[in-house]
Amino acid sequence: MAKQDVVPDEIEVADWTAGVEYFIDQGWTDGLPVVPPTPEAVQRMLAGVPDRDPDEVLGTVPPRWAQATVRLCAVNAVMAGCLPIYMPIVLAAVEAVIEPGFNLAGIQATTHCATPLLVVSGPELKGLGLNAGHNVMGQGFRANATIARALRLIMINVGGGRPGETDLAAMGSPSKFGLLLAENDEASPWEPYRVEHGFAPGDTIVAAFSAEGPHSVTNHVATDTFGVGISIASAMSSLGSNNAFGMGEVVVVVGPEHAEFFRKEKWSKDDLRLYLYQKARNRIGDLMFGQRYGRFYNRMWPKWFDRSRDDEEVPVVVRPDDIHIFVAGGPAGRFSAVIPGWGGLGGRSTIAKVRFPAGSVADAAAGA
């Protein structure tokens, strides 16, 4: 079936199944079946943001640079399986990734497996169905899965990011279907990420990062912060990671059992950042594979690296603040996770505040 360059406002199909197959044939999905966005379904989705004009333009989505309106976001949220109460978070996610500094154009076109990672931090996520506990980056939770999927569908259908055309990822990743986690305030010994970045405790924010998929950090042996920290640092400094050569940013998700060690020993987030900054390093000699291919350097390395010494240790980020720390996950099991970034070419993380409509569950929680 020939794909349409210009999409009509309404498409008539024989039934639901025919609609699903038509959308797949047109390349308007992520490869999985979608919910057909009937006018009635889109109107119900828009009811989740009654304070937003459906024709409001959030910005343009690369690489097609088409305008992302509230209505188009609602269409894709329907397709993803969202509930209307998720719409404020979907819109904030879009606003975060289209910030110029995020470099969504690069993510949409890179040969790397980079994808947007969304982290939601807020006071009343359970009321929205967002999971911050067991299987926090896995299946089984509608809000987490469909909000992240809605963003991917917007990247496809508004931005034109299609594999083999503009999306040139060599390997890709299951995370490209959607990667979202919620911060677990209850399990954290530290102030929430939103407060750390200048927002009020009652605010809800969406932080966006260019990321690979999560890498598990297992440590059931350590009984103190140093043992847990060295395991995290080891996962951060893998020679196969873009961060080892291109630096950029890294996300560290500390599991609740590991977080308890930092609580007991009264480590701050800055203590952990500085520890990881010192320990997550590689020798220049190792980064050059023992000069097997001659001497070479990454142009993104800061000037203060002594490139003449093979024993010079190169951190995986330029500065400690490039390590972003969250607590999330289930209460049982001594696991954490490292989510490597795209490296120095991947832009910078961004944050958008979620605008909940007056009278909503989250709005009431924010005012409590």
Q: What local confidence, expressed as pLDDT, does residue 6 receive?
A: 57
List, for residues 281-337, the tens digit of each pLDDT value. 999 999 988 888 888 777 777 888 888 889 999 999 999 999 999 999 999 999 999
What are the residues facing 205 on neighbouring strands?
A: 121, 353
- pLDDT for position 343: 85
Spans of all domains in the chain: 12-185+201-212+350-368, 213-341
3-state secondary structure of 60: strand
CB-based contacts of 12, cutoff 8 Å, min separation 6 = none
Q: How far apart are CA 147 and CA 179, in angstroms?
A: 9
Per DSSP, 44 falls in state: H
pLDDT digits (tens, 9 = 90+) for 118-139: 999 999 898 999 999 999 999 9
347 neighbors 210 (Cβ within 8 angstroms): yes
Nearest CA among 250, 244, 226 for reference residue 320: 250
Distance separating alpha carbons of residues 334 and 232, to the nearest angstrom: 12
Alpha-carbon gap, residue 266 to 260, rounded angstroms: 10
Which residue intervals of 114-246 are DSSP H helices? 142-157, 193-196, 225-236, 242-246
Q: Which residues pair with 167 in a beta bridge?
A: 163
In terms of DSSP bridges, do strands 323-327 and 250-254 run parallel, antiparallel, or are they unpaired? Answer: parallel
Burial class (CB in 10 A: 0-12, 13-18, 19+), 310: middle
| Residue ranges in the chain whose pLDDT is less than 50 | 1-2, 368
